[in-house]
Amino acid sequence: MKKTEVFQSAETVPNSDGRRAFLQKGGLASLAVGGSMLGLLDVPRAFADTADATSVVPSLPPEVQKYYEMVTTTPLGPSIYRDFKPKKSAPWLIGYASSFGGNTWRIGARTELQEVLLPKYKAAGLVKDVITTEANLDLSKQIQQIRQLVDQGCDAIITIGAAHTALNGAIKYAYDHGVLFVALQGGVSSPYALQVSGNYALCGKLQAQALGKRMGGKGKVLIVQGIPQAQASNDFQKGHEAGLKEYPDIKIAGTVAGNWVDSVAKTAVLQFLATHPAAIGGIAAQSPGDLGAMSALQQAGRPIVPITAGGEMGPLAYWRDNPEWIDLTYQGWPPGNEMQEGWEVMLRTLQGQGPKIASIMIGPGPITHGDLATFLPPGTTTSSNEWVSPPYQSWFPTKTMDMYFERPADPLQGKG
Amino acid sequence: MTTIAKPGVSQTPGAEVVTVRAVSKSFGEARALRSCSFSARAGEVHALVGENGSGKSTMAKLLAGVLHPDTGSVTVNGEQPISPHVAKAMGIAVVFQEILVAEGSTVLDNLFLGDDGFFRARLPQREKRKRAQDLLNRLVGSEVDLDANVDELSLNTRQWIVIARALLGTPRVVVFDESTAALDHSSVERFFEVVRGLKDSGVCVLIVTHRIHELTAICDRATVLSDGADVGTLVGGEITEAKLLEMMRGRTQSDAPLRPSHQLAARGTKVHKEEALVAVGVRLTPDAAPIDFAIRAGEIVGLAGLEGHGQVEFIQVLTGFKRPVAGQIHAIAGGERHPIDSAKSADRARVAYIPGDRKAEGLFPNLSVFENFGISRYRPTARAGFIDRGKVQRMFLEQVKDLSIRLGRSNAPINSLSGGNQQKVVIGRSLAAAPLVIALNDPTRGVDIGAKNDLYVLLRSLAEEGKAVLFLSNEIEEFVGLCDRVVVFRLQSVFGTLEDGAVTSDGVLAAMFGYSDTEGLDGGRR
Amino acid sequence: MVADAKWSAGRLIRQRSLRTPVILLVILLVIAAFHGPHLFTSDGLAGGLVGAAPLMLATLAMTPIAIAGPAGVDLSIGPAMTLINIAIVMGLPEIGLSSPLAVFACAIGLGVLLQVVMGTLIAVLRVSTVVVTLAVYLVLDGMNSVILPQSGGTAPDWLASWGSASTIFSLVLYVPLAAFVLWALVSRTTFFRNIRLMGANDRTAFVSGIPLIPTRIGAHVVAGVFVGIASVMYTGLIGSADPTAGTPYTLSAVTALIIGGASLGGGHAKGLGSVLGAIDIWLISYVLSTFNFGLDASYWVQFTTGAVLVASLIAGGLLTGSSRPRLARWRKRRGGQAEPGVS
């Protein structure tokens, strides 16, 4: 996995060692060779200095500045939509260009959009309708659909987990036609997108720190990744590794890919346990995958060691029943909440509130044992794979949201 | 007609053009040619004659550069045709036995197939069209649309296109491999004129054919191949049917056999009393007259008729491969009646059908000889569903011996055998099931004379063993001396039956054309 | 060819193999006119062109290989486009090149190189096209993710701007047009006719003196040129490098090829048919996107494309009459009627 990261930083971080190493390779023919050789070189990973020339992070209130720790792959300059005026007044037509529809997270987000947000804002006279397209992970199709949404007269378009660069042409097209483009879960390199994202690297780091602390600063940790090529997965991974690094006596026993599917994660962890009989002190898992890791431990007859329970209800229910299991964890990306924050940012921008920065980051929400009584519905079992949804105001208080805008106001009360 | 060959052929008439020296060629273990030599001259028509499997077509392919000799040399004007491309450049044009056209392409494209260079056409389009139209009109005898799709043309026209393709270049040597097979009668005459025209303009013409009477009409010399070797060359007046056959068979009788009557001893009256297969009131079409038919054990019954008059349908109806419009068929074995209404019921009643079109119905061309034999034998010999290969193997060897099938290895592809031997495998497969009734649909088509005679002997011996043999053939002579009776079909029904002494070529032919006043007919039904 | 110069709409529809794609095109355009009329604006057309051009050229690239037959389906095209995309975006800037000339030279060069390797394997070793191209598909698909684990990079400005184009009067139009002209020229050469005749019957072609190996490799060279152009168009669409996004083009292009009337038996495929097939495929996706199917949309697109494919094959069989003999035989069997040959 090291190769992946090195390469990634080489691609995206100017002036890093990785970039220079890549430059030295030069030449078409060495592309393949270069790719594999880079993986062998032990280039120290260089995180970007967020305070680059164009970054407006230092001008943000200190309360939200901390959310930009470890952010490397998204533009941090002033938002191009700072003085945005929509093509027409409310009610607006919204496009949702989904890249695929097939996992629990996406369905959660979509439910929030269709069943909570749309009726509420329709009633307020702010939104006319939402048009949804779906590309089944075919980028060319998603590009076509984004252009089509623009042509159909949408005033704003939301995407989730968009490709890092491939949609840039379509995003520019939207911007050129006066359409606001909001990219949820970030990772887009285009300055013409307004990005709203959790800081997954930071979340991973905080999760790993809490895990390391619970383990007493020593032992072996197994890491369960998401989808190894996905931006968010790499961010989480980066965070997990950084957090664990703070404990010199903690060793990473191995890394497996859970693909954000519990059954895959379970199989991968079982396989790992079968070949590594030595005791594991903890598991740093990305959700969905923490439940899979936990049931793998159960099935293998291993002790249920601390796991970074970051989203699914099952492990949190186990914690509810076993208060000593872990001390603290962080929720990275509740689907409903993320959809809502993207929606609000979009509405505020359409209302001309003026986002200050191209990428709006949200810090991870801590979960303590005391929160569980309110977070978990009564009767939640340890096998539940539903997403825990922190109350929105504790997740992303309006006060914090306001800090990202030049002319903040409550979107529901705002003008069309 | 004498100007078909293009000018530019600069060969001294009489000069040796084609030289084949001690050529051997094997396919796996089957030897197609063994030390074969001959030569052909400019301005002569030279025939290559031989039975099927004697190596004639292999020789044509060697000349075309499609194949290469294992040993020996094939040269044309001192050069070797090492590929079709080179052969073409050397002025060798070969018209193959198969009608090789590029399906779905136009007539024009087919005529100039391979004529153009990689990046440059040899002739401008206008010139091509003109030449092609002129030549083709003369050959076919009517206007042919050059932009028509070849798929939509008749076999006769397609054959002409393939011949025209050979002539449109500037050939020095033209090889016709059975090129008259698909031509109708009037076309054959025009074909001969073409050949004479080529000869007159100094082209060396090689003709590979089975049709011996064609040779005597047109050839200057004829080289006879037997079993892959040249056994002699006849010149001019020496070329007679009898002489050619004698050389082919390697026999010395001056009266070479053609008809079964010359091969088989007169039959004793061994026909049994009991009927083996009975058809009652069978109608092939709703408005055709019903057919009542019976064949007794030990009897050989011929089925004859003009193409499309119902004899083929009838043999298929008798063997359960087709359902009649009306009527019943049953086989009688051991006093029991077994109705036949499907191929499966026929199989159970031990009625065997040997299909006519070997390639389409009888064989799996990609499988080995053994697999082709075993395909219908695995199931009946299987034990608890498992193939008993050893048992099938024994059956196979038995039939190979009985039918004297000539083969290299039993796992060689069936295509490596000659037509006659392929047919023997198909027959052997049926015989291995010990049938009581054997129905053969034109088994001698595409089979050489030697194998034909083997087949007649085989059918006779099967009848002597007490089996009932139904024999459908398109060659009238074959019935004579072989069959006890010949049933002649006309208009989807039986026209008449000739028995014993009445089975003559003239009698059968007359009945086929509907003349019932011929002596010996036992009262036609119509 | 003289005959081909007589172009007209009537002639177009009379070309049997083109009937299905043309009829489908008309149907889809009518639906689009009512349900997504913004297609017929400058923006809409530009979007259509940018979106459909990579598929059009990819299908065109598959065409000579389909013509060379038998079963000439080039499965490698998607990953090949991805590889060239990575080379253009990540490789070329490393050696300081980003001009249109360099990009096209690199794309076409790589395309031809890949195709020549495959063509040589197919022609010389006589391995079936599907086997070789499937192997190359797998190798390239794996290799792409090793070379470039994650999407990134930016295409040269002149190319990246295609993705946000608002007018068709730009390179987005001129490049495919030039490609079509190139196709029209190539398909009129004697060399191309040899490819066609080889595809119609390679035995006949061989014994008639057409050198099969160079002709088959030549078909792949032509394919390689269009793979290169398709890759440039595709890079213009996504404006960056992506290790996997090109892969779906394999299946889309095969579908477009078949809808465009190509016969996988070889010998019969038309460039125009392939382009029409590709436009049809794009339009199916476009038209369905104008209906708000929500998150199930892609399944509907897949379902519809598959249904259209089957329907077009059946319609193609009826329209071109290729299934008539079989129908006749079937009727004959049902009726139990044997036709008398002589009466």
User: C interface mutation test: which of A24, A133, A233 has the most C CBs within 10 A?
Assistant: A133
Q: CA–CA separation, B246 vs B255, rounded Å?
A: 8
In this prediction, residue B210 carries a pLDDT of: 65
Q: What is the DSSP annotation of B360-382? A: III--TTSBHHHHHHTTTHHHH-
Of A101, A144, A172, the CB nearest to C295: A101
Most confident among A77-81, B93-97, C80-84, C309-313 (mean pLDDT): C80-84
Q: In this model, does residue C246 exceed pLDDT 80?
A: yes
Q: In this model, does residue B416 exceed pLDDT 80?
A: no
Q: In this model, does residue B4 exceed pLDDT 90?
A: no
Q: In this model, does residue C329 exceed pLDDT 50?
A: yes
Mean pLDDT to the nearest integer, B26-41: 84
Of C190, C206, C341, the CB nearest to B308: C341
Per-residue pLDDT tens digits for B122-141: 778 888 889 889 888 888 88
Going by pLDDT thresholds of 50, 70 and 90, the confidence category of residue A21 is very low
Per-residue pLDDT tens digits for B275-300: 899 999 999 888 888 999 999 988 99
Length of chain C: 343
3-state secondary structure chain A: CHHHHHHHHHHHCCCCHHHHHHHHHCCCCHHHHHHHHHHHCCCCCCCCCCCCCCCCHHHCCHHHHHHHCCCCCCCCCECCCCCCCCCCCCCEEEEEEECCCCCHHHHHHHHHHHHHHHHHHHHCCCEEEEEEEECCCCHHHHHHHHHHHHHCCCCEEEEECCCCCCCHHHHHHHHHCCCEEEEECCCCCCCCCEEEEECHHHHHHHHHHHHHHHCCCEEEEEEEECCCCCHHHHHHHHHHHHHHHCCCEEEEEEEEECCCCHHHHHHHHHHHHHHCCCCCCEEEECCCCHHHHHHHHHHHCCCCCCECCCCEHHHHHHHHHCCCCCCEEEECCCHHHHHHHHHHHHHHHHCCCCECECEEEECCEEEEHHHHHHHCCCCCCCCCCCECCCCHHHHCCHHHHHCCECCCCCCCCCCC
Residue whose token pair is 């049902």: C334
Say which residue, C310 or B377, is predicted with more confidence: C310
Of C54, C238, C293, the CB nearest to A166: C238
Per-residue pLDDT tens digits for B331-351: 988 788 899 988 888 888 899
Contact yes or no, B with A (3+ CB pairs under 8 Å): no
Distance of CA B328 to the CA centre of its chain: 34
Per-residue pLDDT tens digits for B419-460: 778 888 888 888 888 899 999 988 877 677 777 788 888 888
Query: Count of A–C CB contacts within 8 Å?
Result: 186
Going by pLDDT thresholds of 50, 70 and 90, the confidence category of residue A43 is very low
Dihedral sign (CA B114, B116, B119, B125): negative
Per-residue pLDDT tens digits for C23-39: 999 999 999 999 888 88
Distance from CA of C114 to the nearest CA of A (A): 13
Say which residue, B213 or A135, is predicted with more confidence: A135
Q: Which long-range contacts (CB under 8 A, 24 or more apart) does B79-85 make?
A: B83/C209, B83/C211, B84/B114, B84/C206, B84/C207, B84/C208, B84/C209, B84/C210, B85/B114, B85/C209, B85/C210, B85/C211
In this prediction, residue A357 carries a pLDDT of: 93
Q: In this model, does residue B3 exceed pLDDT 70?
A: no
Mean pLDDT to the nearest integer, C112-117: 96
In this prediction, residue C112 carries a pLDDT of: 97
Q: In this model, does residue A5 exceed pLDDT 60?
A: no
Say which residue, B80 or B56, is predicted with more confidence: B80
C340–B309 C-beta distance less than 8 A? yes
Going by pLDDT thresholds of 50, 70 and 90, the confidence category of residue B258 is very low
Which of B105-119, B480-494, C99-113, C225-239 has the least mean pLDDT?
B105-119
C248–A170 C-beta distance less than 8 A? no
Which of A120-124, A285-289, A322-326, B511-515 has the least mean pLDDT?
B511-515
Q: Is any Cβ of chain A less than 8 angstroms from the Cβ of C248?
A: yes
C149–A8 C-beta distance less than 8 A? yes
In this prediction, residue B369 carries a pLDDT of: 82
Per-residue pLDDT tens digits for A339-365: 999 999 999 999 999 999 999 998 888
Which residues, 6 or more positions from C215, have their beta carbon under 8 angstroms from its beta carbon? Answer: B118, C68, C191, C194, C195, C198, C205
Query: Are β-strands B45-49 and B221-226 bridged in parallel, bridged antiparallel, or unpaired?
Result: parallel
Say which residue, B299 or B216, is predicted with more confidence: B299
Q: In this model, does residue A381 exceed pLDDT 60?
A: yes
In this prediction, residue C306 carries a pLDDT of: 87
Q: Determine the topology of domain B16-105+171-256 in CATH.
A: Rossmann fold (3.40.50)
Q: Is any Cβ of chain C less than 8 angstroms from the Cβ of A109?
A: no
Percent of chain C with pLDDT over 70: 85
B100–C208 C-beta distance less than 8 A? yes
Distance from CA of C255 to the nearest CA of B (A): 22
In this prediction, residue C333 carries a pLDDT of: 52
In this prediction, residue B155 carries a pLDDT of: 76
Distance from CA of B282 to the nearest CA of C (A): 14
Q: In this model, does residue B253 exceed pLDDT 50?
A: no
In this prediction, residue A18 carries a pLDDT of: 40
Domains and CATH numbers, chain A: 2-46 (no CATH), 92-199+335-369+387-402 (3.40.50.2300), 200-331 (3.40.50.2300)
Q: What is the DSSP annotation of B154-215? A: -HHHHHHHHHHHHHHS--SEEEEESTTTT--HHHHHHHHHHHHHHHHTT-EEEEEES-HHHH
Q: In this model, does residue A204 exceed pLDDT 50?
A: yes
In this prediction, residue B518 carries a pLDDT of: 47
Q: In this model, does residue A232 exceed pLDDT 90?
A: no
Domains and CATH numbers, chain C: 14-321 (1.10.3470)
Which of A41-45, A366-370, B416-420, B478-482 has the least mean pLDDT?
A41-45
Q: In this model, does residue A20 exceed pLDDT 50?
A: no
Per-residue pLDDT tens digits for A99-139: 876 667 788 888 889 899 999 999 999 999 999 888 877 88
Q: Is any Cβ of chain C less than 8 angstroms from the Cβ of A12?
A: yes
Distance from CA of B373 to the nearest CA of C (A): 29
The overall average pLDDT reported for chain B is 81
How do the domains of chain B map onto residue ranges? 16-105+171-256, 262-350+435-512, 365-425
In this prediction, residue A414 carries a pLDDT of: 67
Q: Is any Cβ of chain C less than 8 angstroms from the Cβ of A167?
A: yes
The overall average pLDDT reported for chain C is 84
Q: Is any Cβ of chain C less than 8 angstroms from the Cβ of A178?
A: no
Chain B residues 41-100 with CB within 8 Å of chain C:
64, 66, 83-85, 87-89, 94, 96, 100
Mean pLDDT to the nearest integer, B292-311: 87
Q: In this model, does residue A44 exceed pLDDT 50?
A: no
Going by pLDDT thresholds of 50, 70 and 90, the confidence category of residue C322 is low
In this prediction, residue A171 carries a pLDDT of: 92
In this prediction, residue B255 carries a pLDDT of: 35
| CB-CB neighbors (< 8 A) of A138 in chain C | 245, 248, 298
Decide whether B16-105+171-256 matches B262-350+435-512 in CATH topology.
yes
Distance of CA B507 to the CA centre of its chain: 25
The CATH number, out of the four listed (3.40.50.720, 3.40.50.1580, 3.40.50.300, 2.60.40.420), of the domain defined by the range B262-350+435-512: 3.40.50.300
Of C150, C237, C294, the CB nearest to A169: C237
Q: In this model, does residue B67 exceed pLDDT 50?
A: yes
Distance of CA C117 to the CA centre of its chain: 20
Going by pLDDT thresholds of 50, 70 and 90, the confidence category of residue B10 is low
Distance from CA of B473 to the nearest CA of C (A): 17
